[in-house]
Structure 1
Amino acid sequence: MNSEHVDILIIEENESIINLYKKMLMNILNDEYSIKILKNNKEISNFFDNTNNFKNKISLIISESSIEGVEIIEKLGDIKSMFPRVCVYIMSNDVNIEKLKKALKYGVSDWIEKPITPDEFYEVVHKSIYRGTSFESKIRDIEKEIDNFNVENEIEYYKLENRLGKLLGENPSRYETHYLLGKLYEKKGIKTLSIKHYKASEALKN
């Protein structure tokens, strides 16, 4: 894959995980990127306090949800407010529904539980740096996830609902998003919302 030079920020305190991320980035991007790594709260504070660090566009942020026991989701939101188009991915096992809602509220693109696979990592880079995923491809991927997800997994349900909500906002005239929302709510047993979105899908389709 070819791309212009990009800047990537990694916020992680585990050295072995940092090395894994660096190795996977090298396999995907070759030499077309630079990495800034923040390993502790002092480095995070110094980085955020220095406005010179934000002169260059940051293309991708990969971060833990907390460093040295201190949650940093709001700090990630600060970066998102400065760079609305930057993709922020939290990669952490310290997840619950409230933390997920908070992260998505602050503009985090997704929360991926560790260990992340090479395929998952490739998808993160592809979506954030290359932005080559078409609407149709997103719809196909989400439909597969809806077919396979466990209805008792509230975190996965909320993530799917949030992704579809964003997709609907970006493509309000496409019937497919309403159809998948109908399918998602049907699987969760939320009949009124399911019917509402199925009807909206049919109206747009016709």
Structure 2
Amino acid sequence: MRIREVELLTDSIEAVKSFYHGLLEQPILTETEEVISLKAGESVLTFTRSHLDESPYYHFAFNIPERKCEQALSWLQHKGIAVYSVNGQDIQYHETWHSDSIYFCDAVGNILEFIARHDLKDEDTGPFTAADVKNISEIGLPARDVIALSDTLRGEYALQSYKSAGPTFSPLGDEEGLLILAAVGRIWFPSDKAAKLFPITVDISEGSTSREFIVADGYVIRS
């Protein structure tokens, strides 16, 4: 599964532009006072200005080359971007997913991840650059009822559970693209932020088929 585009809310288009274009060096595709879209490898990352009373935040991840996690860490640190450290380690190895991850926050409170998946072989070991952001590989979808949302998405889009599934955490898709269903209140690793309900628009593709859907209040409201 490929994540073609995600559309998220933000309190500050200006801060988003400064972080993703200025620091992460992702090209701007379109920009207005209310919306900015950036190219993130093969995906599009779009932010729309929020008019909610509460500041929205999300968790999402970018695939990077399998052998470039150390280089990516140095690249982020050189730009002054603080990363989460767990037990003194800045790179987290996940045995179940056979991957290495670096976690950090953007300028508006989103929890980001660079993930190097060892099942997606890549021989490139050169210096890390902005072009090594391959695609949006994960988007977190908080839900009041994870199983019900999983059943809806699996039924409508023929998605498969990935690795493991349970009542509070259920990934759908594959290494190229994952929808991370998480129960409201579950803490996004390795932050102290709980999964909360904010509207998300996701455009996914499987083979030649492309579908867009909106998740709001933990339910698919349009597809």
Q: Which has the larger radius of gyration?
A: 1
- Judge same fold: TM > 0.5, yes or no: no
Which of the pair has the greater relative contact order for Cα pairs under 8 Å at 6+ separation? 2
Which bin holds the TM-score, normalised by the shorter protein?
under 0.3
Task: Select the structure that is richer in strand.
Answer: 2
TM-score (norm 1): 0.28
Task: Select the structure that is richer in helix.
Answer: 1
TM-score (norm 2): 0.27
